[in-house]
Structure 1
Amino acid sequence: MDLNKNKWKVIKLTSFILVVLIGIFIFTQIGPYNRNNKKDIVIDIPSGSTVSKISDILYENELIKNKTLFKVVAKVSEKSPNIKAGKYLLNQTYSNNDIINLLASGRIYQDGVKITIPEGSTSKEIINILISKKLGNKETYENLIQNPKEFYDKFSYLKEDDITCLEGFLYPETYYFDENASEKEILSQMLSEFNKIYSDKLKEKQKELNMTLQQVVNLASIVEKEAVLDEDRPTIASVFYNRLEKDMQLQSDATIQYIFKERKKIVTYNDLKIDSPYNSYRNKGLPPTPIANPGVKSIQATLYPDDTKYLYFVAKLNGGNNYSVEYKDHLKYVKEYKDERAKLNQNKIEEK
């Protein structure tokens, strides 16, 4: 009897020790590869990588000790479905869980030439920014921008019949480009960013409005150039929708500006007579292409405009606008603006 008791005690103790040893083994295997090595390692997680592929990359770079256990930790983690492609800066002091958290955070390691494309930039302005940083050739960019077919294999949204150039789809953002990247690779990154921000929700709204993607981006580009304050964007969009519905010219100075190589300080009455498809004072409807590359706020404003009856707007000195339904009221606001601007200019002269 005592022999049996002792036997069970030994079995229980052995089992306990075995469980502890397994626990220690697992803990060390999913812990840091080397707690003392803080040397940075850059890894690249390709788009569409599975957990198995990611574990191979991490194992090859000596960032994890056990691929099987990493996959188990990843599948158990709530964050693993959010793992994002891109470059990441890691070191051997990271545990499996630390690595998963970083890959899911989207804190991508940025290297290369930093380029910031402001919202509302035209393709010409974007090209100038890029070549000023010695990234590519002007003529190559111009040819690619005029040929969306060059990008059909990666961006099917460009295949719509009325999209004739990339103007409007080169999304304004801060980028980090490899100094040896080709012109096509650089433009592709911008097109990819547009694809990300143009969500399924926005696509559904576009269908509701019975608009093409080009029409949305085209109108959004005009809203982008006309708006100073974010809160004005949906109201400005409503004015243009109302004018289109009444078969009126858009009469946007921003479309006139697009005709010139460089932006003019003031659009004159003579400019309004220019014979150009981008002259929205002479032509009805939208211009042939977008006139700039809008940010997401202008795109959203175009898809979700305010419900108004306004047909006119004119700027205020504070950056906002005065809106009106009747032309006589519009003329009153125009006079107010001119008077205020003249007074301001006079004050500046007197101060000098």
Structure 2
Amino acid sequence: MAALSLKRIHSIDQLRGLVMIIMALDHTRDLFHEGSLTEDPLNLDTTTPLLFFTRWITHLCAPTFVFLSGVSIYLQQDKIQNAAALQSKLLKRGCWLVLLELTVVNFGIWFNVHFNSILFQVIGAIGTGFIAMAFLQQIAPRLLMLTGLLLITVNQFINVPALSTLVVQQLGPAHTLIVAYPPLPWLAIMLIGFGMGPYFKQGTKNAAWFARLGLILLAGGILLRAFSGFGDPNGWAIQKNNILTGLSFIRVEKYPPSLLFTIFMLGMALLLYAILKKQTLPQPINNLLEVYGSVPLFYYIIHWYLIHGALIITLFIDGYTLDQLNFGGFGFGRPLQQPNGYSLGVVYLVWICAVLILYPACVRYRQFKQNNPDSFLAKYL
């Protein structure tokens, strides 16, 4: 998501843009859906196939962001050939992302001026990954990729709260820290991306190569899932019908990302990359995806404020007053009285409108970056 500056590779930006559009669907569901505050959309006892899919498909986003961040670090290293300069850039960028996560992003998520809940998720994980990569980037890419594969394989057996596993920690009577994206497994995915970096250089591998690799990962993940209990802490089981059995099979663990989660999501990402690399989609769609993918941090921050602002306005239109809104932990401003919220149809409508509204702002910001490459905003947003 937080791409370093380099000569753009169109298909990388387009893949990033695609998953950013999908990401906005998940956050719209979090904020708007009638069951988001009380039900798990992946709970097979209460979900519907559409609700399950609406949540599950967005699992693709974070690992793709982090993987492509690793790829971008390699491409930047290959371009500038200056380890000290890249180390400085990664350290500054990483610290900046962590700071943004704990301030601007958290406020956009909660709209809570007291910061009673402090959520550490994908921006913070990328930031800590950049900090680590500042000191690891001179190690051979293949060795780092093998290290990443080993880490993601054994992480479910490592229990270091906030480093390798999700943690909810009280910081006092009124404040809670939630580390939803523990740094170690997400660093592992970044290492895999860095190790794959040489294959993303222009002219190195064609679309068919990425498609084959994606299919190999998916086929291997399916076999591992079907015939062993290894690779994910959540088993699967035969359900009351074939659809629910299929959902049980693909319900793999994201918090923290398991081996099977990583295999499935990166396999899908590589298949999508192969499609985009062939440039077979209509050019307006390619341009749309590329715009979003070339200004990822800008898009990420303003999409929270846009969608969350739309929620509050909608609640006021529905007749709720300010004193009825709950801005506490995981309240998002939704009224304390349950049930409330909106149907999946409304969620999809708000999502589509939000993505379209973001487009002109992203176009203008991309133009600003191109015209002012040395400005603070261009470098750090």
Shorter-chain TM-score bucket reads under 0.3
TM-score by length of 2: 0.19
The structure with more strand, counted as a fraction of residues: 1
The structure with more helix, counted as a fraction of residues: 2
Where relative contact order (Cα < 8 A, 6+ residues apart) is larger, the structure is 2
